[in-house]
Structure 1
């Protein structure tokens, strides 16, 4: 099996920020509205949008519009790819 280091690097870059790591962890509990995510931080809505754009473009998070709100969830395929990478590293 060929490893896709470019894909791994994109995921790791997306998670190379404390705010995005926390958002990623929050989404492990299920889909969240942007308003709920924003409540956990002392940042502006545009700053949250910036972080969500990075997470979505990386492929780790998906989004959908629900009325006026955006809802976010983990992309299971991206999560599985990242998990497999780390499991492979651990096995050596």
Structure 2
């Protein structure tokens, strides 16, 4: 794996941890097509702002979403370079590890 600050173990773990929750996946799906404010995300997801804030914080800390403030509203969007970094991390396994056929269990 080429040296890259995005590939630190902590950054990779944070990224996959952020992707491990169904509500956070729903947030990411909504942000695929457009930037949204917290109130819009709450409406689409049928959840409270306090619950969503926790999940958005996790996504931000993992670098998967960006936040920008406009007036009193905070708008969220995907941070695509971080998704690329996670994808490249996984691609390294595919590139250097041959995919072997599934072997039947050993008989004892």
What TM-score, normalized by structure 2, do the two folds share?
0.75
Gaps of 5+ in 1: none
Whichever structure has more helix as a proportion of its residues is 1
Displacement, 1:45?
A: 0.8
Equivalent pairs counted in the alignment come to 92
Q: 3-state DSSP class of the match of 2:45?
A: coil
Gaps of 5+ in 2: 98-108
Task: Determine the C-alpha separation between the residues in 2 that align with 1:23 and 1:70.
Answer: 15
1:13-57, Cα deviation, whole Å (9 max, x unpaired): 111110001111211112111111111222211111111111111
Q: Which residue of 2 aligns with 1:35?
A: 39
Which has more radius of gyration?
2
Q: Which residue of 1 aligns with 2:67?
A: 63
